[in-house]
Chains A and B, each alone.
Chain A
Amino acid sequence: MSTIKLTRPKLDAGEKIYFGALIKGFFLTLSHAVTSLRGKSIGAKGLNSTGLGVTMQYPETKWDDHMPEYYRGAPALVTDEQGRERCVSCQLCEFICPPKAIKIIPAEIPSDDRWAKVEKRPLAFDIDMIRCIYCGMCEEVCPEQAIYLRKDYAITGLTRADMVHDKKKLYEIGGVRIGLVNKWNELK
């Protein structure tokens, strides 16, 4: 490894007595205070704040409406237009998950089920939200477009068990997603 030598900036006498910079700082803060009181600070409108500057009054006001499309919140399972659970329990997300938050127990779909031709679905699908780091690898790796990171970010619970999202909860968060590739269609 090479060593880089940095030269320290040469300070003149005015800069060495730091009072000048201090007073300059006071005026800067004061000017921000005045803009804030006039309700003119940057982003004040967009954030729907109470008018007192950029501070959002959480939890009275929330981020929810301002979430960008790419926001990565809690991972959840989705069903498609036909009401089919898209997950086929291939366990790729379980494999890729860096903090090992996902646990899947696969099962065979009984032959009298409408989607028997898909053959496989999860019997249990647990995501431990204490472990989840919201990295989105599960969404990226899913070959069936079945798991998505939604915009839920306030995941709370009173016990560790509360923080494990089971299959029912995951479908509740995920809901129905339309416009996905329909691989298991009539022709299949």
Chain B
Amino acid sequence: MSDTPSATAELKLPKDIAAEKGLVNVQIDGSWYQFPKGTRMIEACRQVKVDVPYYCYHPKLTVPGNCRMCLVQMGMPPRPAPGQEPSRDESGYEPIGWMPRPAISCANTVAENMGIRTTGELVEKCREGVMEFLLINHPLDCPICDQAGECRLQEQSVGYGRGVSRFVDMKVKKPKNVDIGPRIRLDDERCIMCSRCIRFMDEVASDPVLGFTQRGTHTTLSVHPGRLLDSNYSLNTADICPVGALTSNDFRFQMRVWFLKETPSIDVNCGTGTNIIVHTRGNTIHRITPRQNNAVNSTWMPDSHRLNFHYIDSDSRLTEPLTLSNGKHTSITWQTAYQHAADQLRKFMPAQIAIIGSARMTNEELILLKTLRQTLSVPHLSLVPRLADPDQLLIAADRNPNTTGAQLILDTTDPYASLGTIRSAIQNNQIKALLVFGEDLITDAGFTHGELSNLDFLLQTHLLANPTANHAHLVLPGAAFAEKRGSMVNLSGRLQRLNRAVEPPLNAKDDWEIIRDLISAISGDTAKIFLIEDVFKHISATIPAFANLTLSKIGHQGTVIAETAYKIPLLENERARIASGVING
């Protein structure tokens, strides 16, 4: 934002005004802006939406400056002779002496009164030359390359290249289709030696297995002998690879990227709540990639979470409400199912009923679960804990995505507390009816077949066929995380949104609708809620932490609604690197 000194402060020069705020004045393509000291030139251009092409630069990684694509023309004010006052224009800026040679904008930081030109003959010729060099050995693989459509080399070849190759010699041969790890395929001919993957594995994943061998045009990316690229963060290298050198085995040849619809959502495999993009075509999910959120997952994501979506499209999905008669499950309509549940539940005293929910449920589902509990006056409600080892980067020990949300909504510090009580009450025959939402008690909560067959009525909502469902008198098919809307709160207290990327299969239903219809079948109250927005309105009216929020106000980056002591280790590493000036972040 160019500041012109006002008439009242005639002695204050732009450099002094900027210096007071710790900023410097920089002219980019003829306009003056202010940036903090230490900002890289390429970041400065990006902040003011001036396009500078690049391959090797990544804001979260160190800067090697080896692709030379981000060359710009740089200028500084000429040094005055001894005793000479620098001349200034009417706005108080010194004239810029343009350097005859270009400079890479990723490795240089901005300075007072600096000028940057991202257009002009010099810069354009440089880019054209760099593109021509990069394409000398790049194969014409685009029709079979998975990167086509999101390839920086393709985009910048169109934007800045010369269109026709002048190179007549044979292209250099390098290994193709190399198996370097369980989830990543390497094609060395496509590699443009940007070294992003090498730096990522070294700096972020702390597993430096990649490196360059050979020299010059024969430079080859390879994995350390005897090692594999098998880190749980290896697929991030495919994300940051600007070309198709590193591609995902899971997504290999599945779908061209231009067919994919992108839905921003969040990951539900652990309490971190990694921000993701769900890529779908039609009603099929083809891949999941991380979405940048500097307060949650930076731009990364663990492979185990990323690849955990194939169950959504699997054969074991439940698609019809089922009822148990004579030891066999038969499908019924939703209407009959709700009526059946309501009739059965009337046979029991409230003290004989218990509800087991899941911390994988959204806030909207949890508040309705709370209403269901009040409707039935049930004394026991518990969720199922899910703990495993954290990985000191993004994966939290708590593998439930919405523990914090459950704490807030159910107004308890430990939503898992009464699971043991319920279990022993089932063993003592005190509890005869159990409503289970989104959990498989046998696999995930350690219940035994004997305990479940002890029950007179067991209702389960779940996605997949599971051992608990075998005992359930009523099985209701729910929706997967990519099939529903709603909100969750991650371990650091950030409220985030899930968005619907695909439709639930056949007769499966969104979980909040199932609970809503169960409540109205039991209470006979037909005053219904039709929109999930209205459920959220109910949350914001009743739970103080959610006050004044709506689903749309949460935004794609989430909103902090609770203070917790939890720190995401990967972000701590990143903040330390930003503070030390290694990266711009």
Q: What residues make up the interface of A, taking CB atoms closer than 8 Å to B?
A: 88-92, 94-95, 106-108, 117-120, 143-144, 183, 187-188
Q: In the complex, are the beta carbons of B143 and A144 less than 8 A apart?
A: yes
Contacts of B259 in A (CB 8 A): 91, 94-95
Interface segment out of the listed B45-53, B248-256, B439-447, B459-467: B248-256
Q: B235-278: which residues lie under 8 A (CB-CB) from chain A?
A: 252-256, 258-259
Which chain B residue has the least Cβ–Cβ distance from A116?
Answer: B177
Cβ contact of B140, chosen from A89, A91, A119, A183, cutoff 8 A: A183
Contacts of B177 in A (CB 8 A): 119
In the complex, what distance in Å separates the CA atom of A95 from the CA atom of B281? 12
Can you show 11 pairs from A to B with CB atoms below 8 A apart?
A: A89-B253, A90-B142, A90-B148, A92-B143, A106-B254, A106-B255, A108-B253, A117-B176, A120-B253, A143-B142, A188-B139
Contacts of B253 in A (CB 8 A): 89, 106-108, 119-120
Q: In which size bucket is the chain B interface?
A: 10 to 19
In the complex, what distance in Å separates the CA atom of A182 from the CA atom of B176? 19
Contacts of B143 in A (CB 8 A): 88, 90, 92, 143-144
Contacts of B139 in A (CB 8 A): 188
In the complex, what distance in Å separates the CA atom of A79 from the CA atom of B171? 26
Which chain A residue has the least Cβ–Cβ distance from B187?
Answer: A119
B144 within 8 A of A: yes
Contacts of A144 in B (CB 8 A): 143
In the complex, what distance in Å separates the CA atom of A92 from the CA atom of B143? 8
With A95-B259, A117-B176 in contact, is A108–B142 under 8 Å at CB?
A: no
B170 within 8 A of A: yes
In the complex, what distance in Å separates the CA atom of A117 from the CA atom of B189? 13
Contacts of A95 in B (CB 8 A): 256, 258-259
Q: In the complex, are the beta carbons of B144 and A118 less than 8 A apart?
A: yes
Which chain A residue has the least Cβ–Cβ distance from B176?
Answer: A117
Q: B414-431: which residues lie under 8 A (CB-CB) from chain A?
A: none
Other 18 A-B pairs with CB < 8 A, given A95-B258, A120-B253: A88-B144, A89-B253, A90-B143, A90-B144, A91-B255, A91-B256, A94-B259, A95-B256, A95-B259, A106-B253, A106-B254, A106-B255, A108-B252, A108-B253, A118-B144, A119-B144, A119-B253, A143-B142
Q: B144-183: which residues lie under 8 A (CB-CB) from chain A?
A: 144, 148, 170, 176-177
In the complex, what distance in Å separates the CA atom of A92 from the CA atom of B176? 23
In the complex, what distance in Å separates the CA atom of A187 from the CA atom of B169? 12
In the complex, what distance in Å separates the CA atom of A106 from the CA atom of B177? 17
In the complex, what distance in Å separates the CA atom of A171 from the CA atom of B545? 64
Report the minimum CB–CB distance from B158 to chain A (whole Å): 15
Q: In the complex, are the beta carbons of A187 and B170 less than 8 A apart?
A: yes
Q: B102-140: which residues lie under 8 A (CB-CB) from chain A?
A: 139-140
Contacts of A183 in B (CB 8 A): 140
Q: Shortest 4 CB-CB distances between A and B: which pairs?
A: A90-B143, A120-B144, A91-B256, A106-B253
Report the minimum CB–CB distance from A106 to chain B (whole Å): 5
Report the minimum CB–CB distance from B176 to chain A (whole Å): 7
In the complex, what distance in Å separates the CA atom of A188 from the CA atom of B189? 11
In the complex, what distance in Å separates the CA atom of A120 from the CA atom of B255? 12
Report the minimum CB–CB distance from A48 to chain B (whole Å): 43
